[in-house]
Amino acid sequence: MTSQIKTFFLLAVLTAIILFLGGILGGRAGLMFAFIIAMVMNLGSYWYSDKIVLSMYKAEELTPGDSPQLHKMVEELAANAGIPKPRIFLVPQDSPNAFATGRNPENAVVAVTSGIMRILSPEELRGVLAHEIGHITNRDILIQTVAAVMASAIMMIANMIQWATLFGFGGSDDDEGVNPIAAIAIAMIAPIAATLVQMAISRSREYLADETGARISHDPKALAGALYKLDATARNRPMNAAPATENMFIVNPFSGGNMANWFSTHPPIEDRIARLNSMASRV
């Protein structure tokens, strides 16, 4: 299953969970209220995501005079991808990592840590930049926001179901209604399922960004080599990062992906490297 098809399928699963919970809750007004609140919260963060994240990490914009080689790489890769050149920011942290943000290609940002500038070769750094530009090209920030809206709505509706069940409200339109114990159990399981689906979407987009980055850089092995170095370093030098932004980085900023795969926002590094090496063998 390709990454694009998998993403569509997972978004459909989130939609199905929302509709299923709506059927249990019964009232359309409550369902719509929860969805609207979730949408407002997440779209607000999406619209201002670049400012929020860059401020959080004390990132400073780099001018062409500050880092001419970096700007030249980004300009070339953006041209290969057919998007405007993103702005470039430096995050003052020793742990090597990178991320992209911005609501669309016209307002995009690529950020790199000071640590990544020291440990990667120019070819490997170019591979990382290509990966981040791949995220921008694939509109991953928008897709992640849609997934977050749905997951947040599921959590809010699940809470409404629990409260409604405790006080005897809600239920389906038929005569028998829904078993209260079953309703509470479903309301507890649904947010966990939504979180797992949201993480699966994040992993799928990482694979796609690797593929896109390898294509626009014409050098899959350079990105594979960068991922190996970044993962090895992240295990010993975790980043001072907020858990809510974990999915934004090219590698897990905390432990290099030691968590169980189902509960990780990043695919296993070994799988990503193997896919990139496979692409290199076909070039």
Task: Give the residue numbers annotated as catalytic, written as ranges.
Answer: 132
Q: What is the 3-state secondary structure (H, E, C) of the chain?
A: CCHHHHHHHHHHHHHHHHHHHHHHHCCHHHHHHHHHHHHHHHHHHHHCHHHHHHHHCCCEECCCCCCHHHHHHHHHHHHHHCCCCCEEEEECCCCCCEEEECCCHHHCEEEEEHHHHHHCCHHHHHHHHHHHHHHHHCCHHHHHHHHHHHHHHHHHHHHHHHHHHHCCCCCCCCCCCCCHHHHHHHHHHHHHHHHHHHHHHHHHHHHHHHHHHHHHHCCHHHHHHHHHHHHHHHHHCCCCCCHHHHHHECCCCCCCCCCCHHHCCCCCHHHHHHHHHHHHHHC
Q: How far apart are CA 99 and CA 248, in angstroms?
A: 6
Exposed (0-12), middle (13-18) or buried (19+): which is 182, by Cβ within 10 Å? exposed
**CB contact at 8 A, 74 and 133:** yes
